[in-house]
Amino acid sequence: MTTHFITKQIKGHGRGKLLGFPTVNLAVPRDFDLVDGIYAVWVIIEGTRFRGAMHWGPIPTFDEKVKSLEVFILGLGEHELSHADITRIFVEPVERIRDIMKFDSVDALTRQMEKDVARVRSLLKEE
């Protein structure tokens, strides 16, 4: 598993914001070797460390086969994300918490995302 990587923010679809989980969409680094899935990660932006839930892979619920890399950063609100120009992001995957899944509805996806974030909170304790 990749122990850490440095990347930058890229433009996404804005779907996470509509679901209540605004994400930072990330450029896929060279030599990226993670298996598709949802991960608990540490994210460092401008010297500040955050807990994050990271998605790597296709998005079957929305019939997208192209893989995306994005992270919901706990403690960083939508306002900060929309006004940020994040050019250097350090990401440290800690644990793969589940496979990529296709959900029958957006509500089912949102409920699972809530569970994923709760899992990240329990795995990664703030110091």
**In CATH, what class is 5-119?**
mainly beta
Length of the chain: 127
pLDDT in tens, the chain (127 residues): 567 888 888 888 888 887 888 899 999 998 888 999 999 999 998 888 999 999 999 999 998 899 999 999 998 765 455 545 667 899 999 999 999 999 999 999 999 999 999 999 999 987 6
- Can you give the residue ranges of every domain in the chain? 5-119
